[in-house]
Amino acid sequence: MRRCHRCTGSGQAPCQVCFGQGTTHRRLDRFGKPVHDRCDGCFGRKTTRCGLCNGEGFIA
């Protein structure tokens, strides 16, 4: 077992959809300013389960 290098053992990796922002802005309001929506990838948590270690934090 070695510690996962992607998540450094936390089992959580920055969301790839919002790049760790927790929000996405794909719409513009009527003033032309971006509307921040909660990210669908991480549901606003900013991190997702690490895909490399499946959230274990270690790689066998």
Binding site for Zn ion (CB under 5 A): 4, 6-7, 15, 17-18, 39, 41-42, 50, 52-53
Per DSSP, 46 falls in state S
Distance of closest approach, residue 35 Cβ to Zn ion, in angstroms: 16
Helix, strand, coil in percent for the chain, rounding step 5: 0, 35, 65
Tokens at residue 10, please? 């936390």
Distance of closest approach, residue 43 Cβ to Zn ion, in angstroms: 8
Residue (33 or 45) nearer to Zn ion, CB? 45
Distance of closest approach, residue 26 Cβ to Zn ion, in angstroms: 12
Q: Is 45 helix (H, G, I), strand (E, B) or coil?
A: coil
